[in-house]
């Protein structure tokens, strides 16, 4: 076990159990993630054994309730884990975050049979999950998705949109999803499709689709700027058959299911972004002690010291806001606004701090040899996925103005 780590600014009030969890996650990240992070990024190589080792530590179901077989971590505890993973390797953090994101809706909206059949292998780390919402014409505007689910009866005939749901034997999916993290490596896919485009968000329904389902395949693999060791690919549905028993929730509940899961996922990503910022800050501060210029260590130059102070402020502020959002979830409060604030703030902070770290390293920071530029590339991605930061500004503004209206 690693030595106990002192609480950094913005991380006060942790219990002994939470500190142990954080320290264990940091030791794991240092041992299993950091040594190969640069090589995997360079090669754009996904390593399934990392997911298996996470599962051995109980992380594949960490924040999910014990009642369904999860580890039962508090959400604050989960953010402590995600910060440590993000500090060592954002690609591994994103991979795990998406896996958890794809399970949350099944916990909340799934049947007992779905808990048993669908969740059990995912909680054990035997099956990797993916969350499938984004489409070529529906990124931030998730309600505009076009992937269609035809309703089919026992005789194999297509049912009209107004036929009762209990008459449906199966659904056939047609359409395309893009930028799906963990694809094509994932085994289980939570897919959102519309059964009636005329109903807008009220027509969207969620489905549980296994890799290998006939009519379900993969298209282009994204060549990303950052987070390159976590794959992302296009999904193609050409009449993929999904039994009615694999519909998640009721018809028309899909949009609500997606938004509820994303609110939780944004806190997770915020925590990983705090990790990026912390890593950039720590590495830059150490470098300033090592290098000299004009007859003195760089750490003694006031201009650079002020940059370090600003970086520390960014990281501490992002951590405090992320922890507050996690504590709100643990208290059972609404987290929509807080999760948007946390994700927006933490990803912007990570980008600014990582960019400043590159500047402080000078030419070495711009080189791919040091790994500092990888932090900047990874932070840029975090400003875009899980809702662009412009969308989060809209969410926060809407909540503030709604309260002002009374």
Average confidence score pLDDT of the chain: 95
Residue 159 has pLDDT above 90, yes or no: yes
Distance CA 290, CA 295 (A): 13
Is 196 in contact with 102 (CB distance < 8 Å)? Answer: no
- Cis peptide bond prior to 379, omega within 30° of 0: no
For 381, residues 6+ apart whose C-beta sits below 8 A from its C-beta are: 90, 224, 225, 226, 227
Pair of tokens at residue 225: 């700027």
**Average pLDDT of the segment spanning 69-94:** 97
Distance CA 222, CA 3 (A): 40
Is 386 one of the catalytic residues? yes
Nearest Cα to Cα of residue 334 among 403, 249, 275, 393 = 403
What's the pLDDT tens digit per position in 326-347? 999 999 999 999 999 999 999 9
Give me the percent of the chain exceeding a pLDDT of 90: 89
Q: What is the pLDDT of residue 160?
A: 86
pTM of the model: 0.95
Q: What is the pLDDT of residue 138?
A: 82
For residue 143, what pLDDT band results from cuts at 50, 70 and 90? confident
Class level of CATH domain 129-256 = mainly beta
Distance CA 169, CA 157 (A): 10
Across 67-97, b (16+ Cβ under 10 Å) vs e yields ebbbbebbbbbbbbbbbbbbbbbbbbbbbbb
Q: What is the pLDDT of residue 325?
A: 97
Give me the percent of the chain exceeding a pLDDT of 70: 98
Is 262-405 in CATH node 1.10.260.40? no
Distance CA 401, CA 403 (A): 5
Nearest Cα to Cα of residue 312 among 271, 349, 268, 270 = 349
Dihedral sign (CA 286, 288, 291, 295) = negative
Q: How many CA atoms lie within 13 A of 276 on its CB side?
A: 41
For 91, residues 6+ apart whose C-beta sits below 8 A from its C-beta are: 37, 40, 41, 227, 228, 229, 230, 378
Q: What is the pLDDT of residue 1?
A: 31
What's the pLDDT tens digit per position in 246-260? 999 999 999 999 999
Distance CA 37, CA 91 (A): 8
For residue 6, what pLDDT band results from cuts at 50, 70 and 90? low
Residue 355 has pLDDT above 50, yes or no: yes
For 112, residues 6+ apart whose C-beta sits below 8 A from its C-beta are: none
User: Helix axis angle, 336-361 relative to 389-405, nearest 10°?
Assistant: 140
From the options 1.10.540.10, 3.40.47.10, 3.10.20.30, 1.10.3470.10, give the CATH code of 16-107: 1.10.540.10
Is 140 in contact with 195 (CB distance < 8 Å)? Answer: no
Pair of tokens at residue 155: 């005789």
**Average pLDDT of the segment spanning 138-151:** 89
For residue 295, what pLDDT band results from cuts at 50, 70 and 90? confident
For residue 5, what pLDDT band results from cuts at 50, 70 and 90? low
Residue 305: other Cβ atoms inside 10 A? 14
Q: What is the pLDDT of residue 59?
A: 97
Q: What is the pLDDT of residue 36?
A: 97
Is 252 in contact with 203 (CB distance < 8 Å)? Answer: yes
Nearest Cα to Cα of residue 122 among 202, 67, 183, 59 = 59
Concatenate the DSSP letters of all residues of 318-367 into one string.
HHHHHHHHHHHHHTT---HHHHHHHHHHHHHHHHHHHHHHHHHHTHHHHS
Concatenate the DSSP letters of all residues of 214-255 into one string.
TTEEEEEEP--SS-TTS-EEEEEEEEEEEEGGGEESSTT-HH
Instruction: Check residue 213 and report its DSSP letter.
Output: -
What's the pLDDT tens digit per position in 117-140? 999 999 999 999 999 999 998 877
What's the pLDDT tens digit per position in 174-188? 999 999 999 999 999
Residue 267: other Cβ atoms inside 10 A? 31
For 171, residues 6+ apart whose C-beta sits below 8 A from its C-beta are: 149, 150, 151, 152, 193, 195, 205, 207, 241, 242, 244, 247
Spans of all domains in the chain: 16-107, 129-256, 262-405
Concatenate the DSSP letters of all residues of 74-104 into one string.
-HHHHHHHHHHHHHH-HHHHHHHHHHHHTTH
142 or 309: whose pLDDT is higher? 309
Residue 3 has pLDDT above 50, yes or no: no
Q: Name the strand (E) or helix (H) holding 205.
A: strand 204-210
Which residue is catalytic, options 170, 251, 337, 386? 386
What's the pLDDT tens digit per position in 25-34? 999 999 999 9
Tokens 């505009």 correspond to 144
What's the pLDDT tens digit per position in 35-65? 999 999 999 999 999 999 999 999 999 999 9
Q: What is the pLDDT of residue 114?
A: 97
What's the pLDDT tens digit per position in 367-406? 998 899 999 999 999 999 999 999 999 999 999 999 999 7
């Amino acid at each position: 076990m690693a030595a106990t780590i002192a609480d950094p600014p913005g991380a006060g009030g942790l219990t002994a159990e939470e500190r142990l969890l954080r320290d264990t996650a940091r030791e794991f990240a240092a041992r299993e993630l950091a040594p190969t992070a640069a090589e995997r990024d360079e090669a754009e190589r996904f390593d399934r054994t990392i997911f298996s080792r996470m599962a051995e530590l109980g992380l594949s179901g960490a924040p999910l309730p014990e009642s369904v077989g999860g580890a039962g971590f508090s959400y604050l505890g989960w953010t402590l884990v995600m910060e440590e993973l993000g500090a060592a390797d954002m690609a591994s953090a994103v991979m795990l975050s998406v896996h958890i994101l794809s399970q949350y809706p099944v916990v909340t909206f799934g049947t007992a049979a779905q808990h048993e059949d669908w969740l059990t292998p995912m909680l054990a780390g035997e099956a990797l999950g993916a969350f499938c919402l984004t489409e070529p014409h529906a990124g931030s505007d998730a309600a505009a998705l076009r992937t269609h689910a035809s309703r089919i009866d026992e005789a194999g005939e297509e049912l009209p949109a107004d036929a009762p749901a209990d008459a449906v034997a199966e659904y056939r999916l047609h359409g395309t999803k893009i930028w799906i993290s963990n694809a094509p490596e994932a085994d289980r896919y939570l897919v959102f499709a519309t059964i009636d485009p005329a109903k807008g968000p009220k027509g969207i329904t969620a489905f549980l689709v296994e890799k290998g389902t006939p009519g379900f395949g993969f298209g282009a693999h994204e060549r990303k700027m950052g987070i390159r060791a976590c794959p992302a690919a296009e999904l193609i549905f050409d009449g993929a058959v999904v039994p009615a028993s694999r519909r998640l929730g009721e018809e028309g509940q899909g949009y609500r299911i997606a938004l509820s899961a994303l609110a939780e996922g944004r806190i997770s990503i915020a925590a990983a972004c705090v990790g990026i910022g912390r890593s950039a800050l720590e590495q830059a501060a150490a470098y300033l002690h090592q290098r000299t210029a004009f007859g003195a260590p760089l750490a003694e130059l006031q201009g650079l010291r002020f940059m370090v102070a600003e970086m520390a402020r960014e990281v501490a502020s992002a951590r405090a806001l992320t922890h507050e959002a996690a504590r709100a979830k643990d208290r059972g409060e609404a987290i929509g606004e807080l999760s948007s604030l946390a994700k927006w703030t933490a990803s912007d902070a990570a980008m600014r701090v990582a960019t400043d770290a590159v500047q402080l390293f000078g030419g070495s920071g711009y080189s791919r040899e040091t790994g500092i530029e990888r932090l900047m590339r990874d932070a840029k991605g975090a400003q875009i996925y899980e809702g662009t930061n412009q969308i989060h500004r809209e969410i926060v503004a809407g909540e503030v103005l709604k309260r002002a209206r009374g």
